[in-house]
Structure 1
Amino acid sequence: MLVNHRLLLTRVRCKCRHYRKYLSSKANLAEIEVPFSNGTKLKLTSGRYARFADGACVATLGNTSVLSTVVSKAKQSSSNFLPLVVDYRQKAAAAGRIPTNFLRKELGPTDREVLTSRVIDRSLRPLFPYNYNFDTQIVCNMLAVDGTNLPETVAINAASTALALSDVPWNGPIGAVRLGHIDNEIIVNPTRRDLEESTLNLIVAAASGNLVVMLEGSAKDILQQDLLKAIKLGTKEAQNIVRSIEKLQKDYGKMKREYETQTPLEQSIVDSVQTLSSMKIREILSDHNHDKLSRDNAISELRQTVMNQLRETEADLNQLQDCFNTNLRQIFRQLIFETDTRCDGRHLDELRKINCEVSLYEPLHGSALFQRGQTQVLCTVAFDSPESALKMDPLTMITSGPAGRREVGHGALAERGLMPVVPQQPFTVRLTAEVLESNGSSSMASVCGGSLALLDAGVLLSAPAAGVAIGLVSTPDERGHVADYRILTDLVLKITWAIWTSKWLELRKA
């Protein structure tokens, strides 16, 4: 009888442990639904997968689901910038397919995966603390995909939620929404079929307070007022996502970790750097006879001179260089606000000198050289049959290598600027852009040179296409908001917009 009682108590205890463990795991499962104005819902779930990661979240829109994980090292990196790596992978199994290559498995990242990784990176990177220099990795794996909902904004929202729930310092969250434009109406989260009819394909990533963090999109013959309306609506819809992530963070988020930073320089040393360099920097930046190389050399020599004069101090050399560079940027901005003139003598709305040449080489179907200031791009056009374009000869397999992420991104910008003006052809058209000199806006120079090369080859474009980069220089107020600003054409600064017009508009904010 006593043995039976003991056996019964043991079974009861085991069941209690099982139920306690089950209830505990269910209690840690975070889940919330975000409604949109068009009736669709975004579902955010955390606590079920990848619990060893610093943060993890599954975002679901329709039947498209993306798992995002965040991991950051506890030891600071030796670099003086944020070593952030974002990887987005879209596997065939997520669509119920088997890869069609010889090995029947996923190989290296495709161009679309690289471009999606760059969009996620540009949405998240600006909100990391300035002095957070720890190796951080964000991985977005597609779990399932339907034929209706696109995964890019789903991945951004999953990564934003994972960062917010993790202990990694981050000044988020953000929300991302895709917008379309059909029959003079702005569409929220358009489907794949909607985008075929839409004249706008825009992704808006925004933080709390209706602050836009990143824009990525393209359009065909859209009015400026419609574009601004789409940005405003996308920012408003993103606030619903931000509030939902903040609620999850309040209920289930981890305490943000404390991290060590370098002791700031003494004010006396900072004053010494400014005293030794400010006047010389103003002289160099005000000398309009300098070009890129001579100006960079003069700044480098001045930097080295200042470092040598402060060698006797116990300050770290990297901190001294950062202090010098900070002073350089401040003076650069001050001169722009004081004179409304840039360091090369141009006004804020003035382009660099442009020179164009076509028909450079007779054997080529089309060629063009586009020069804007010290940015030079050589573009060539080749025609071939569709069958030959798909063949891979042994020489090409040996000599061709994978393109870098930056090359893929800039190539996609130029391609999207030219594709709408190129009519359907019965043959394959290959356009190459070789950047021979780079001093800003090389992707937009590729649009200009590519348009010239296509026209030189006899391709009947619906309209010539041209592109230019636009920079924004701003001064903050006491709250950190923009107090005053200047817009500069044809320059890369703190905020860069890549814009080209014809029947196409491309916006990108870095």
Structure 2
Amino acid sequence: MSEVIQTTIAGRTLKVDYGKVGRLSNCAILISYGDTVVLVNANSSAKPRDGVDFFPLSIEYEERLYSVGKIPGGFIKREGKPTDKAILHARAIDRPLRPLFPKGYRNDVQVVCTVVSVEQDNLPDILSINGASLALCLSSIPFNTPVGAVSVGIVDGDFVINPGLEQRKKSTLNLTVCATEDRVMMVEAGGDEIAEDVMYNAINFGFEECKKIAKFQREAMKKYGKEKDIPELYKVDETLENEVRNFSFDSIKEAMYITDKDERNDALDEVKKKLDEEFGDKYPDNKADISDVVYRIQKEIVRNMLLNEHRRPDGRKFDEVRPISCEVGILPRTHGTGLFTRGLTQVMTVATLGSLGDVQVLDGIGLEESKRYIHHYNFPSYSTGETRPLRGPGRREIGHGALAEKALIPLIPSESEFPYTIRLVSEVLSSNGSTSQASICGSTLALLDAGVPIKRPAAGIAIGLITSDDLSQEELLTDIQGIEDFFGDMDFKVGGTEEGITAIQFDTKIHGLSLHCIKETLERAKKARLFILDKINACISAPRKDLSKYAPKTFTMSIDTDKIRDVIGAGGKVINKIIAETGVKIDIKEDGNIFVMSDDTESAKKALKIIDDLTREVKVGEIYLGKVTKTTNFGAFVEILPGKEGLVHISKLDFTRVNKVEDIVSVGDEILVKVIEIDNQGRINLSRKDAIKDSEKKKSDED
């Protein structure tokens, strides 16, 4: 039976068609907001997956270019692997939903959000979060806590829910808030140095709207939802758990209280070795269960240490940042490098400057067609002292790179201020907590070292959280390290400058955060960020005045827009010839600005002169050094500027009578000529004898 469910969000109708499509899925809905439509399918396996120690949830966000009336580029002409943006949107759907499934649930669950129609005023990624939550709620899959999602902007000083395209262009904030009816589950933000109190109020503003959406979903679930499956939850055999606990608890506790990470890991390895000797033969098929018990013992000990003993594993204060060091210019041939170390977390970022033609071309459902500032992040296996195959970037790497990129976007100079494409690559050399935020710091160092005139330095920090089971106790942890992230409840990342916040990403392993916790976290992050910025400023306080000698140099000029075609030529013939002759790169903008880039200054100047000659207006009375291109019985044709020819009549070749043109000039000769007339048809008439006369007079006057 087909049902239509709808509500109103920010004055626009959210409509859900349920039971109309995808009838073999556990639940399939068409959810629309304005003319933006997403098809959402939710399915699960009948039984738990064997041999896994995690919840196998798969969130897929599929962009179809027909949704915006585009045919894919390239030879194949069909969508390929997900774009980076699609991957980021899939991660944003996953994070608020995953913690709300039952603990120990091991069935495969897949939610596929297919974007089938897009109106740019209504974002499909926000709609997909709501659609994924509602589809899970209406299905028989054991998901019972609906999540609402909205975007929040600041336009002319006012908060706006789900801003439209023109409002987003004006907005100083791009905030996504996901929440249940009770608590905030996930926040992502990019902003133009937003003050902490403004950011908190924006989150609260979005939270209030999310609660309404979650309530709408709950009512729909009660009225139309399927009966929920009773899940088969993974649980370790009680006898096995008791035996492992009795044998190893004290040894694990002793190991967990060692402050040095390497020594702690060595002690834990010794405990695991003894466990294998004790239980390997007795429980040969239960090694995964033994590991799970050990994990839960570690988690219990660390959480008790933090929450009740008020002691961190490495002995730091709860608001203390690990030791920091900053270096720049460590690689001799790159355009800029920054090495940032915080405790055992270390990131090296390398900056590369390129021409404006090096921008990244985008082929997606958004309006953005290219990017001139790009940030990539690599997380190799050696950063954690492990071995695994080196393949392309995974979802986590794409997400961390995008977060660091978002934190620095408001600080990057405009194209007119700094006409370069900028690429940053953050290499994680050592990982022990919050490498994404270390990437922001390393990138700031690299940009300053490269001489990029950024607005001001940025830094990032991650705040963790430990709560009691009933959420009545909370402890915030500044600059969480790996063990605190692994056993904790939250990873709240905040990037920004001394003026305010430029990026936020937080997710939680529990059923959300209170507003009080969010407010305190933002203040804690600000204090730590300012501390780190002091360290960065002590290393390099301003962009270098000169670019690296290995960086290309850019020269600019401006021409009338109606002259652009003269520089490009038919099929690019003219511009390609200039590039071939000079070896430079040339980028021409629609407004007539031209950027010439070259490692060699003389080559760039030569290209600029050619372009200047191409676009100069020929004026009557001016003298030019031209080249004879053709001779006839009535005169000679002379090219005085690229693409501009005039005729020297035989009577204007010399002071005496000329019987034959070739007696005076030949093809290929360079001669001085004066423009004596441009007729009403644009034809140029030249005189060699007038040019000679004027030149001799000028020389006489100088003598």
Mark yes or no: TM-score above 0.5. yes
Contiguous gaps of at least 5 residues in structure 2:
362-389, 508-703
CA gap of 1:299–1:102, structure 2 versus 1, over 3 A, is same
Q: d(CA) in 2 for partners of 1:244 and 1:338? A: 39
The equivalent of 1:88 in structure 2 is 61
Q: d(CA) in 1 for partners of 2:252 and 2:391? A: 42
The equivalent of 2:172 in structure 1 is 199
Residue 455 (structure 2) pairs with residue 462 (structure 1): yes
Counterpart pick for 2:245 among 274, 279, 300: 274
Matches within 5 A, 1:91-102: 91-102=64-75
Residue 256 (structure 2) pairs with residue 285 (structure 1): yes
The equivalent of 1:350 in structure 2 is 320
Residue 361 (structure 2) pairs with residue 364 (structure 1): no
User: 1:129: Cα distance to partner?
Assistant: 1.0
Provide Cα deviations, 1:406-464, integer angstroms capped at 9, x if missing partner. Answer: 11100001101111111112111111111111111111111000000100011111110
TM norm structure 1: 0.87
Q: d(CA) in 1 for partners of 2:110 and 2:21? A: 17
Matches within 5 A, 1:275-354: 275-288=246-259, 290-291=260-261, 293-311=262-280, 316-354=286-324
Mean alpha-carbon deviation: is it higher for 248-257 or for 409-418? 248-257
Matches within 5 A, 1:7-18: none
The equivalent of 1:20 in structure 2 is none
Opposite residue 330 of structure 1, the aligned amino acid is E
Q: d(CA) in 1 for partners of 2:227 and 2:344? A: 49
Mean alpha-carbon deviation: is it higher for 159-168 or for 224-233? 224-233
The equivalent of 1:427 in structure 2 is 420
Matches within 5 A, 1:370-409: 370-388=340-358, 402-409=392-399
**Other structure's SS at 1:335 match:** helix
User: 1:506: Cα distance to partner?
Assistant: 2.0
Provide Cα deviations, 1:104-148, integer angstroms capped at 9, x if missing partner. Answer: 211111011000000011121111111111111111001100121
- Contact 2:256–2:298, Cα closer than 8 Å, also in 1: no
The equivalent of 2:104 in structure 1 is 131
Q: d(CA) in 2 for partners of 1:265 and 1:376? A: 41
CA gap of 1:174–1:321, structure 2 versus 1, over 3 A, is same
**Other structure's SS at 2:11 match:** coil
- Contact 1:129–1:171, Cα closer than 8 Å, also in 2: no
**Other structure's SS at 1:255 match:** coil
Q: d(CA) in 2 for partners of 1:367 and 1:204? A: 35
TM norm structure 2: 0.64
Q: d(CA) in 2 for partners of 1:216 and 1:347? A: 28
Q: d(CA) in 2 for partners of 1:261 and 1:200? A: 42
Mean alpha-carbon deviation: is it higher for 150-159 or for 317-326? 317-326
The equivalent of 2:432 in structure 1 is 439
Counterpart pick for 1:473 among 451, 456, 466: 466
Q: d(CA) in 2 for partners of 1:343 and 1:161? A: 40
Counterpart pick for 1:414 among 393, 404, 409: 404
- Contact 1:420–1:504, Cα closer than 8 Å, also in 2: no
- Contact 2:408–2:502, Cα closer than 8 Å, also in 1: no
Mean alpha-carbon deviation: is it higher for 310-319 or for 125-134? 310-319
Matches within 5 A, 1:12-161: 28-36=1-9, 38-78=10-50, 79-161=52-134
- Contact 2:410–2:502, Cα closer than 8 Å, also in 1: no
Q: d(CA) in 1 for partners of 2:173 and 2:196? A: 12
Structure with larger RCO (C-alpha < 8 A, sep 6+): 1
User: 1:85: Cα distance to partner?
Assistant: 1.1
Root-mean-square deviation (CA), in Å? 2.0
User: 1:53: Cα distance to partner?
Assistant: 0.6
Q: d(CA) in 1 for partners of 2:307 and 2:391? A: 45
Contiguous gaps of at least 5 residues in structure 1:
1-27, 392-399
Q: d(CA) in 2 for partners of 1:458 and 1:384? A: 13
- Who wins on radius of gyration, i.e. which is larger? 2
Q: d(CA) in 2 for partners of 1:86 and 1:474? A: 28
**Other structure's SS at 1:419 match:** helix
Q: d(CA) in 2 for partners of 1:404 and 1:390? A: 19
The equivalent of 2:588 in structure 1 is none
Q: d(CA) in 1 for partners of 2:44 and 2:92? A: 20
Q: d(CA) in 2 for partners of 1:468 and 1:156? A: 27
Q: d(CA) in 1 for partners of 2:100 and 2:300? A: 21
The equivalent of 2:183 in structure 1 is 211
Residue 142 (structure 2) pairs with residue 169 (structure 1): yes
Residue 525 (structure 2) pairs with residue 495 (structure 1): no
Q: d(CA) in 1 for partners of 2:241 and 2:57? A: 29
